[in-house]
């Protein structure tokens, strides 16, 4: 996984924050970098779709749905990443490595695939945008 | 007889809430055109024209995954409403899909008649769900094949009644500023058998239409900010309160460049479809209000038959923000832009 710097994140943060605020109907000041989308900003599944499409339009990038989990899985096969909807030890380790912006204590074991979005913070989306920008330049 | 059988027309089509008559120019997962053929003496409300655009996008998305998934109402970022009433017309539909996968379809599209846009939609997103939860995938395939036939389906013989699709009870009103109402979705209605055969839910477009009527009702009860127009119309500054849901006003004409004013004026179709708001007669003219734009529509869950919904409409300048709640939980949000003019 390519390194993403704090400067990279800072460069996209204001626009990502505005985008998330528009999608959630909240004030941009509420959208701080470490805020969790679900638990802190009350985002629901439809909001995740809304945010992704708004980011695609706003930054002129492509973010396939499921991209965060796909990126996290990386080279691991699906069977090595999760079994029956629960992350394997290797999958959980890989997820921790990928979501570096998420404090370690938030990763529970066992962790269900459906609970992964609960980990996402505003920074997760900033990093997603930065990665998509880097990918589009390659 | 099953629910699915009761809703079929003689040609086998589930018709109570299906509006696309034919599909052409299909570019799989990307683009399609379509048409609606409306039967003699019917007019199509703008919310149903918008629904038809969404249905065309749904057909393209479903065909792209061989009817294993289907989109449901989710987000409409921008809806522009240019015209309202139609009768005995052919409505042309067009959609462009910006994304189409197992999770979501993103699209824009429009409905046109006589070379003019009636409704345009942009930044729309529909979450894709298992099609078999809503309908028989084989029945969907068969309907799609029929729609792809140039002969398509016969003209729509009936259309669902838009006004009064749910009952509305006013709870509180701060004239011109805030309106709270309770909407009750019927337990039974013909469209439930078609929307959807295996999971009856209240169509989001009918729900939006009901909310837009409330927004217009709120707007028309404004005692202050429309004063200049009221004075020019020869009306007093007293609050003009008229409940659109209770009072079937009749339209007197059309706005803007809508292409068939003579025909529409002659036919005098029922008022109001949701693009047109209200008419207040004064000495010098009438104030006509219209919803011209709907933005940031977001549906958060399905609405089952019999559901009771609280709708809060709050005015902010020319916009009215709508929040719908069920059991205290957010159900949907939307904003509408209203324009008024002296006619």
**pTM for the structure as a whole:** 0.85
Q: Which of A44, A57, A64 sits opposite B300 (nearest CB)?
A: A44
Q: In B, which residues are within 8 Å of A50 by CB distance?
A: 74-75, 125, 298
Out of A50, A57, A64, name the one closest to residue B75 (CB).
Answer: A50
Rounded distance, CA B40 to CA B154, Å?
A: 12
Query: Tens of pLDDT along A92-109?
Result: 999 999 999 999 999 999
Whether residue A25 lies within 8 A of chain B, CB to CB, comes out as yes
Lowest-pLDDT choice from A13-22, A66-75, B130-139, B305-314: A66-75
What residues does B183 pair with on adjacent strands?
Answer: B168, B309
> Which of residues A131 and B15 earns the better pLDDT score?
A131
- Residue of A48, A52, A53, A67 to mutate when probing chain B, most B C-beta within 10 A: A53
Given pLDDT bands bounded at 50, 70 and 90, which one contains residue A1? low
Residue in chain B closest to A58 (alpha carbons) equals: B123
| pLDDT of B41 | 76
- Identify which of A44, A49, A66 has the shortest CB distance to residue B125: A49
Which pLDDT does position A80 carry in this prediction? Answer: 95
Nearest chain B alpha carbon to A44: B300
Tell me the mean pLDDT in the region A54-63.
Answer: 94
Q: Pick from A22, A44, A53: which is nearest to B125 by CB? A: A53
Q: Closest-CA residue in chain B for A65?
A: B103
What pLDDT score does B137 carry?
96
What's the pLDDT score for residue B106?
96
Q: Which residues touch A137 (CB under 8 Å, ≥6 apart)?
A: none
DSSP labels for B308-340? Answer: EEEEEEEEETTEEEEEEEETTEEEEEEEEEEEE
Reported as type and span, the H/E element at residue B185 is none
pLDDT of residue B163: 80
Chain A partners within 8 Å of B296 (Cβ): 22, 25
B→A contacts (Cβ < 8 Å), by residue, are: 74-75, 99, 101-104, 106, 123, 125, 127, 296, 298-300, 333
Q: Measured between beta carbons, which residues in chain A are less than 8 angstroms from residue B300?
A: 44, 46
Q: A45 in contact with B at a CB cutoff of 8 Å?
A: yes
**Among the partner residues A22, A49, A56, nearest to B74 by beta-carbon distance:** A49
Record the tokens describing residue B34, joined without a space.
């379509």
Task: Name the residue facing A65 among B101, B296, B300 (closest C-beta).
Answer: B101
Q: Do B103 and A65 touch (CB under 8 A)?
A: yes
* Residue among B175, B122, B44 at smallest CA distance from B293: B122
pLDDT tens across the length of chain B (343 residues)? 333 333 444 445 456 899 999 999 999 999 999 998 887 777 788 889 999 999 999 999 999 999 999 999 999 999 998 765 556 678 899 999 999 999 999 999 999 987 788 899 999 999 999 999 999 999 999 999 999 998 877 778 778 888 888 999 999 999 889 999 999 999 999 899 999 999 999 999 999 999 999 998 888 876 555 556 666 666 554 444 333 333 222 232 223 222 232 333 323 333 333 444 455 556 666 677 778 899 999 999 999 999 999 999 999 988 999 999 999 999 999 999 988 776 6
| pLDDT for position B84 | 54
Q: Nearest CA to CA, how far is B300 from chain A (Å)? A: 7
CB environment A51-74: b (16+ within 10 A), e (fewer): bbbbbbeebebebebeebbebbbe
CB-CB neighbors (< 8 A) of B104 in chain A: 49, 53, 65
pLDDT score, position B320 = 95
Written in H, E and C, the secondary structure of A10-78 is: HHHHHHHHHHHHHHHCCCHHHCCCCCECCCCCCCCHHHHHHHHHHHHHHHCCCCCCCHHHHHHHCCCCH
Residues of A in contact with B103 (CB under 8 A): 49, 65-66
Instruction: Give the nearest chain A residue to B332 (CA atoms).
Output: A46
**A57 contacts B123? CB cut-off 8 A:** yes
Chain A partners of B97 at a C-beta cutoff of 8 Å?
A: none
Q: Cα(B223)–Cα(B247) distance, rounded to whole angstroms?
A: 19
CB contact (8 A) between residue B298 and residue A50: yes
Please indicate whether, in this complex, the C-beta atoms of A49 and B75 are within 8 angstroms of each other. Answer: yes
User: How much is the CA Rg of chain A, to the nearest whole Å?
Assistant: 15
CA neighbours within 13 Å on the CB side: how many for A30? Answer: 16
Report pLDDT for B227: 59
Instruction: Look at A44 and B299 and tell me if their CB atoms are within 8 Å.
Output: no
Q: Which has more pLDDT, B40 or A115?
A: A115
CA distance A28 to A26: 6
Which member of B101, B103, B333 has the closest CB to residue A25?
B333
């Amino acid at each position: 996984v390519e390194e993403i710097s704090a400067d990279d994140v800072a460069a996209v943060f204001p626009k990502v924050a505005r985008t998330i605020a528009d999608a959630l109907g909240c004030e941009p000041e509420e959208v701080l970098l470490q805020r969790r989308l679900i638990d802190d900003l009350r985002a629901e599944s439809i909001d995740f779709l809304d945010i992704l499409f708004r980011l695609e339009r706003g930054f002129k990038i492509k973010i396939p749905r499921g991209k965060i989990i796909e990126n996290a899985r990386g080279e691991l096969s699906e069977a090595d990443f999760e079994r029956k909807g629960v992350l394997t030890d290797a999958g959980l380790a890989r997820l921790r490595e990928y979501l570096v912006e998420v404090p370690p204590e938030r990763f529970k074991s066992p962790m269900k695939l459906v609970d992964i979005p609960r980990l996402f913070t505003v920074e997760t989306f900033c990093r997603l945008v930065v990665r998509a920008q880097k990918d589009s330049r390659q | 007889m099953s629910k699915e059988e009761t809703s079929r027309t003689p040609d086998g089509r589930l018709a109570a809430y299906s509006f696309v008559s034919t599909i052409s120019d299909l570019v799989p997962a990307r683009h399609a055109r379509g048409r609606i053929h409306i039967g003699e003496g019917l007019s199509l409300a703008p919310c149903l024209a918008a629904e038809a655009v969404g249905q065309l996008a749904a057909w393209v998305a479903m065909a792209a995954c061989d009817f294993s998934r289907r989109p449901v109402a989710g987000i409409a970022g921008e809806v522009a409403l240019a015209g309202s009433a139609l009768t005995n017309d052919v409505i042309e539909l067009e959609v462009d899909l910006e994304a189409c996968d197992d999770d979501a379809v993103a699209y824009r599209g429009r409905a046109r008649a006589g070379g003019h846009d009636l409704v345009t939609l942009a930044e729309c997103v529909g979450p894709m769900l298992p099609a078999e939860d809503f309908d028989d995938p084989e029945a969907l395939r068969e309907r799609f094949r029929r729609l792809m036939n140039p002969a398509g389906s016969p003209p729509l013989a009936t259309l669902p009644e838009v006004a009064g699709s749910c009952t509305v009870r006013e709870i509180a009103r701060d004239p011109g500023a805030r309106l709270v109402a309770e909407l009750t979705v019927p337990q039974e209605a013909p469209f439930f058998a078609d929307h959807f055969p295996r999971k009856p839910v209240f169509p989001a477009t009918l729900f939006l239409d009901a909310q837009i009527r409330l927004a217009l009702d709120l707007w028309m009860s404004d005692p202050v900010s429309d004063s200049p127009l009221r004075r020019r119309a020869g009306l007093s500054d007293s609050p003009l309160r008229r409940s659109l849901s209770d009072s079937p006003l009749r339209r007197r004409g059309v706005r803007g460049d809508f292409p068939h004013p003579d025909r529409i004026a002659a036919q005098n179709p029922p008022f109001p479809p949701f693009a047109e708001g209200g008419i207040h007669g004064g000495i010098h003219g009438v104030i006509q209000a219209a919803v011209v734009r709907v933005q940031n529509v977001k549906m958060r869950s399905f609405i089952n038959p019999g559901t009771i919904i609280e709708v809060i409409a709050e005015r902010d300048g020319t916009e009215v923000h709508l929040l719908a709640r069920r059991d205290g939980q957010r159900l949907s949000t939307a904003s509408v832009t209203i324009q008024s003019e002296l006619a």
